[in-house]
């Protein structure tokens, strides 16, 4: 319970992150310093304006008018934390959700994601990490409010109860939370509050509608790109077309003469035009000539990267899995099956291009915008501005999509540098082209799998060898040990009952910068494993669904979702002419999934008509949001399956906008049949995993329909 106690202390702790060894150096040091309890940086997120009030703990604020605000410590980027996290607090706090206002948390120690070691939104961790602590926080606050009321009435707290943001006393006397909040916030938090049994939940587990929806249908929701500060200027930034290149000098005489242009400044990553509107800055930037040092990547191209990856893949890798003896197993095999799978670089391309607002003053810095990693934002802003982290205030807005891109803070550093250079608040906005050409790309991978089958087609061995760049090596280098990056190996170990297994990985830096992308390495490893198991089924002459079932006999949660997906999809039943089905299963972030898409192929084009999904993610906080996230992941993943590929020529990303980096649109969005398994197991994550499953599931369906085994994404028929 010590963690929970720490997180719920009344006295706020201040957190800072110092990047060592350069901005993206060898590691992050998270430090804490005691701060006064008055939180000057408590940020408001429209439409809930920052409310005044007393705070029994870091998560709950109650105004004298009985306004109850719940602090949301994870960035809302579409995945629903603005609703699901407050639900956990409200359940124990005994406040109905329609009375709750939500405020985004500042960057502070109580809000650190203990699964990730920083205030990070990622890894499908939000609900998993918060499931107990946020209920504890709600219960502690409720007990403190009850205790304050009991003191006021001079009765025993055990004779009082809480309901609907009121405390009710033994004689039926009532007092609102607001009336006792100030007194409650002076009490010691109770040590081990007893939590409700799930059967008593009034909010958690119910498919309630999202609290942010009303502000997202009338244009009032505030995203980073909407931020406005008094006296703010707008910046457009030219970055070196070759990733990693730096500006040497520039010439901007023409730009300075253009309307509205105030400054042209060189910063570490490029040259910025600062004007009174963004459009004027953007237009003027086109007239600036810049001399670049293109750096080490000036001649990098996709063919060269592929060749270097092939060379890396030929090396023995660091071993992450060893079971039995694959060499001995292979000796008794009746046949050998081998296949290689290859995945491309991908862009995140959230709908809101990268942007941030910074106001650098002599003794303080305000940074304001969309980020998935609050302490990194604060730490880098402080280092860039030359102030202490405690002099930096961060306000997190809604994120117009994140998908992992906003874990990085390059655009925040840029905004800070520009504001510092021009001495005014500045909103930096990238164009879509900037966004696509200066991403941290989802890594490529090359994976070779070999298996020996016995005479009945049952696998005796499974050898997995994967190669590719490591994001972790770049951003959290300390987590890479002995050549193993755990975030390259998600779902790399198969669930199938195969006696001899060997897993190896080669970390290979291609020169192109890489970043975490929704579902991280699940998307790479699940594609290879679930395609290959399908190939084994074919080699064995077995139905691919039955083949999986036979190898998952010891995995009841897999079997359950597989059975549901089989039944709901009509597996084995006749299909309309030209249609075909495929199947794939996975576990990711503690969530078990089975998927059966129905596809057709015409004139070389793959159409996904329908996707049947069964999911068991244990206890669910909000099944409505769970369903949204599954729908979301199918569409996001399908874009990568059908279209997604970033390529390089002369060190420059060739794609620039949605015409040459296509994504799924309404007319390509399949029907979905989603079944969620009721469960009291601990919660699994759902923001990401389905993204990884759609690739092999569709590829397997394409094989079933055409006989073509496609081992590369995006899927391209011969």
Partner 1 sequence: MSTSLKINGTTVTVDAEPDTPLLWVIRDEVGLTGTKFGCGKALCGACTVHLDGTPVRSCQTPLSAAAGKNVSTIESVSSTEVGRKIQAAWIAHDVPQCGYCQSGQIMSAVALLAAKPSPTDSEIDQAMSGNICRCGTYPRIRAAIHSAAGTKGA
- Residue 467 vs 639, nearer CB to partner 1: 639
With binding defined as CB under 8 A, does residue 124 bind partner 1? no
The DSSP output letter for 710 is -
- Residue 213 vs 708, nearer CB to partner 1: 213
| Among 36, 172, 219, 541, contact with partner 1 (rule: CB under 8 A) | 219
- Residue 66 vs 669, nearer CB to partner 1: 669
Least Å from the CB of residue 125 to partner 1: 18
| Among 350, 469, 651, 689, contact with partner 1 (rule: CB under 8 A) | 350
Cα distance between residue 39 and residue 31, in whole Å: 18
Residue closest to 19 by CA, chosen among 373, 514, 348, 369: 373
Query: x/- contact string, 237-276, with partner 1 (CB under 8 A)?
Result: ----------------------x-----------------
Is residue 294 a contact partner of residue 240, using CB atoms and an 8 Å limit?
A: yes
Preceding peptide of 228 cis, ω within 30°: no
Contacts of 673 (CB under 8 A, 6+ apart): 568, 569, 610, 611, 612, 613
- Residue 357 vs 500, nearer CB to partner 1: 357
The arrangement of strands across the sheet holding 261-267 comes to 261-267, 270-275, 233-239, 426-429, 355-360, 365-369, 392-396
- Residue 27 vs 207, nearer CB to partner 1: 207
- Residue 404 vs 469, nearer CB to partner 1: 404
| Among 352, 417, 490, 530, contact with partner 1 (rule: CB under 8 A) | 352
Stretch that binds partner 1, among 223-231, 293-301, 458-466, 528-536 (CB under 8 A): 223-231
Stretch that binds partner 1, among 84-92, 206-214, 522-530, 571-579 (CB under 8 A): 206-214
Least Å from the CB of residue 600 to partner 1: 15
Query: x/- contact string, 464-483, with partner 1 (CB under 8 A)?
Result: --------------------
Name 373's bridge partners. Answer: 120
Residues in 168-197 at the binding interface with partner 1, rule: CB under 8 A: none
CB atoms within 10 A of CB 135: 23
With binding defined as CB under 8 A, does residue 566 bind partner 1? no
With binding defined as CB under 8 A, does residue 532 bind partner 1? no
Least Å from the CB of residue 199 to partner 1: 26
Contacts of 647 (CB under 8 A, 6+ apart): 302, 344, 345, 653, 654, 655
End-to-end C-alpha distance for the chain, whole angstroms: 58
Decide: helix, strand or coil at residue 95: coil
Query: x/- contact string, 277-316, with partner 1 (CB under 8 A)?
Result: xxxx------------------------------------
Distances (CA, A) of 77 to 96, 116, 445: 24, 18, 27
Least Å from the CB of residue 82 to partner 1: 10
Is residue 635 a contact partner of residue 672, using CB atoms and an 8 Å limit?
A: no
Considering only the C-alpha atoms of the chain, give the largest distance between any 2 of them, rounded to a whole number of Å.
Answer: 82
| CA 214 to chain centroid | 23
Least Å from the CB of residue 102 to partner 1: 14
- Residue 123 vs 138, nearer CB to partner 1: 123
Angle between helices 522-540 and 690-706 (to 10 degrees): 30
φ, ψ at 385 (rounded to 5°): -80, -15
- Residue 350 vs 443, nearer CB to partner 1: 350
Which helix H or strand E contains 26, and what residues bound it?
none
Stretch that binds partner 1, among 94-102, 173-181, 424-432, 527-535 (CB under 8 A): 424-432
Least Å from the CB of residue 654 to partner 1: 16
- Binding residues for partner 1, rule CB under 8 A, total 63
Cα dihedral 555, 561, 562, 565, rounded to 10, equals 180
Cα distance between residue 558 and residue 556, in whole Å: 5
Least Å from the CB of residue 514 to partner 1: 19
Contacts of 276 (CB under 8 A, 6+ apart): 233, 234, 260, 262
Residues in 24-83 at the binding interface with partner 1, rule: CB under 8 A: 76-80
CA angle 118, 121, 123 (to 5 degrees): 95
Query: x/- contact string, 609-648, with partner 1 (CB under 8 A)?
Result: ---------------x---x--xxxxxx--x---------
Least Å from the CB of residue 661 to partner 1: 10
With binding defined as CB under 8 A, does residue 226 bind partner 1? yes
φ, ψ at 238 (rounded to 5°): -95, 125
Which helix H or strand E contains 393, and what residues bound it?
strand 392-396
With binding defined as CB under 8 A, does residue 368 bind partner 1? no
Least Å from the CB of residue 212 to partner 1: 7
CB atoms within 10 A of CB 666: 6
Residues in 644-703 at the binding interface with partner 1, rule: CB under 8 A: 657-659, 663-667, 669, 671-672
Least Å from the CB of residue 400 to partner 1: 3
Which helix H or strand E contains 628, and what residues bound it?
helix 623-642
Length reported for the chain: 718
Least Å from the CB of residue 231 to partner 1: 14
Q: Can you give the binding site for partner 1, defined by CB under 8 A?
A: 76-80, 209-210, 212-223, 225-226, 228, 234, 259, 277-280, 349-353, 398-403, 429, 431-433, 624, 628, 631-636, 639, 657-659, 663-667, 669, 671-672
């Amino acid at each position: 319970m010590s963690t929970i106690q720490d997180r719920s202390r009344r006295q706020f702790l201040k957190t800072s992150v110092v990047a060592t060894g350069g901005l993206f150096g060898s590691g992050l040091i998270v430090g804490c310093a005691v701060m006064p309890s008055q939180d000057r940086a408590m940020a408001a997120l429209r439409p809930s304006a920052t409310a005044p009030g007393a705070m029994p703990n870091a998560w709950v604020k109650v105004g004298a008018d009985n306004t109850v605000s719940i602090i949301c410590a994870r960035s809302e980027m579409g995945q629903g934390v603005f609703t699901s996290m407050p639900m956990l607090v409200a359940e124990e706090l005994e406040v109905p959700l329609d009375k709750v206002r939500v405020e985004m948390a500042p960057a502070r120690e109580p809000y650190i994601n203990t699964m990730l070691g920083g205030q990070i939104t990622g890894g499908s961790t939000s609900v998993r990490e918060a499931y107990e602590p946020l209920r504890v926080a709600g219960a502690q606050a409720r007990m403190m409010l009850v205790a304050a009321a009991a003191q006021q009435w001079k009765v025993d707290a055990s004779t009082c109860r809480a309901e609907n943001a009121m405390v009710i006393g033994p004689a039926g006397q009532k007092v609102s939370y607001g009336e006792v909040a100030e007194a409650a916030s002076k009490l010691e938090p109770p040590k081990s509050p007893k939590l409700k049994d799930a059967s008593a939940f009034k909010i958690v587990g119910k498919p309630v509608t999202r609290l942010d929806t009303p502000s997202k249908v009338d244009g009032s929701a505030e995203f980073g790109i909407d931020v406005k500060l008094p006296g703010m200027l707008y910046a457009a930034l030219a970055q070196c077309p070759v990733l990693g290149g730096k500006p040497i000098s520039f010439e901007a005489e023409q730009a300075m003469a253009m309307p509205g242009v105030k400054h042209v400044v060189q910063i570490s990553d490029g040259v910025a035009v600062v004007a009174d509107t963004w459009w004027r800055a953007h237009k003027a930037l086109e007239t600036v000539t810049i001399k670049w040092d293109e750096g080490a990547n000036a001649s990098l191209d996709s063919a060269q990267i592929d060749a270097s990856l092939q060379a890396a893949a030929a090396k023995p890798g660091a071993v992450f899995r060893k079971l039995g003896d694959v060499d001995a197993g292979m000796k008794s095999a009746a046949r050998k099956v081998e296949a290689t799978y290859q995945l491309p670089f991908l862009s995140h391309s959230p709908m809101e291009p990268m942007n941030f607002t910074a106001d650098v003053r002599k003794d303080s810095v305000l940074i304001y915008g969309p980020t998935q990693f609050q302490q990194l934002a604060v730490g880098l802003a402080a280092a860039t501005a030359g102030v202490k982290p405690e002099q930096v205030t961060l306000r997190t807005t809604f994120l117009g999509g994140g998908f992992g891109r906003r874990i990085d803070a390059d655009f925040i550093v840029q905004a800070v540098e520009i504001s510092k250079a021009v001495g005014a608040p500045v909103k930096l906005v990238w164009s879509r082209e900037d966004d696509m050409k200066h991403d941290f790309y989802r890594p490529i991978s090359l994976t070779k799998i070999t298996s020996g089958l016995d005479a009945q087609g049952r696998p005796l061995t499974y050898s997995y060898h994967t190669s590719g760049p490591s994001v972790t090596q770049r951003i959290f280098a300390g987590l890479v040990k002995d050549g193993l990056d755990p975030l390259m190996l998600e779902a790399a170990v198969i669930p199938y009952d195969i006696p001899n297994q060997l897993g190896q990985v080669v970390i290979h830096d291609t020169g192109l910068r890489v970043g975490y992308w929704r579902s991280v390495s699940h998307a790479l490893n699940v594609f290879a494993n679930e395609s290959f198991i399908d190939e084994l089924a074919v080699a064995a002459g077995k139905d691919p669904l039955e083949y999986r079932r036979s190898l998952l006999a010891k995995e009841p949660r897999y079997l359950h979702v597989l059975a549901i997906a089989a039944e709901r999809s009509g597996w084995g039943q006749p299909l309309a002419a030209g249609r075909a089905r495929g199947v794939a299963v996975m576990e990711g972030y503690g969530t078990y999934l089975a998927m059966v898409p129905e596809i057709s192929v015409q004139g070389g084009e793959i159409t996904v008509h329908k996707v049947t999904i069964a999911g068991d993610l244990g206890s669910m906080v909000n099944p409505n949001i769970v369903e949204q996230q599954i729908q979301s992941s199918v569409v996001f993943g399908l874009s990568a399956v059908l279209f997604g590929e970033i390529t390089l020529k002369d060190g420059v990303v060739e794609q620039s906008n949605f015409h040459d980096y296509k994504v799924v649109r309404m007319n390509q969005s399949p029907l979905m049949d989603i079944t969620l398994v009721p469960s009291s197991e601990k919660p699994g994550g759902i923001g990401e995993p389905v993204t990884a499953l759609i690739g092999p599931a569709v590829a397997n369906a394409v094989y079933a329909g055409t006989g073509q085994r496609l081992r590369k994404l995006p899927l391209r028929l011969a």
